[in-house]
């Protein structure tokens, strides 16, 4: 039991399609983060929320990416007009600065 549920686990999509991922923390957390992990690399920060407010976005988050956390609980990450370079594992995590970070199992996106 990871404490953070991510769906779907795997997603294969054709280039140009839109995809949406969901992250559900099992317990309440003020802060929620999205990271992207490409093959052979460590995770890279994308964005984070404090409650429903999106407070920081990485340069990696192009205009085709949008993230929401409407009620301060679950979060969604949408990628529009997917490109092959978007193929990666998308990780959601909760936690606070200096504290323990709980990662979800991730959503593996493959763009063909």
Query: Which spans of this chain sit near another protein (rule: CB under 8 A)?
Result: 2, 4, 31, 33, 35, 40-45, 48, 55-56, 58, 91, 97-98, 100-101, 103-106
We find the least distance from the C-beta atom of residue 94 to another protein, in angstroms, to be: 12
Q: Counting runs of H as helices and runs of E as strands, what totals does the chain give?
A: 0, 11
We find the least distance from the C-beta atom of residue 78 to another protein, in angstroms, to be: 21
Place of tokens 């493959």: 110
User: By C-beta, is 10 or 81 nearer to another protein?
Assistant: 10
According to DSSP, the residues that pair with 74 across neighbouring strands are: none
Tokens of 46: 């994308």
């Amino acid at each position: 039991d990871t404490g953070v549920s991510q769906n779907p686990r795997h997603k294969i999509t054709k280039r140009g399609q839109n995809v949406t991922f969901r992250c559900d923390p099992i317990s309440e957390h003020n802060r929620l983060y999205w990271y992207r992990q490409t093959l052979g690399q460590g995770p890279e920060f994308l964005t984070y929320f404090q409650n429903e407010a999106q407070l920081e976005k990485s340069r990696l988050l192009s205009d085709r990416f949008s993230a929401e956390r409407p009620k301060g609980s679950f979060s969604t990450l949408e990628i529009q007009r997917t490109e092959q370079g978007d193929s990666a594992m998308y990780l959601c995590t909760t936690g606070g600065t200096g504290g323990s970070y709980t990662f979800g199992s991730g959503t593996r996106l493959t763009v063909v």
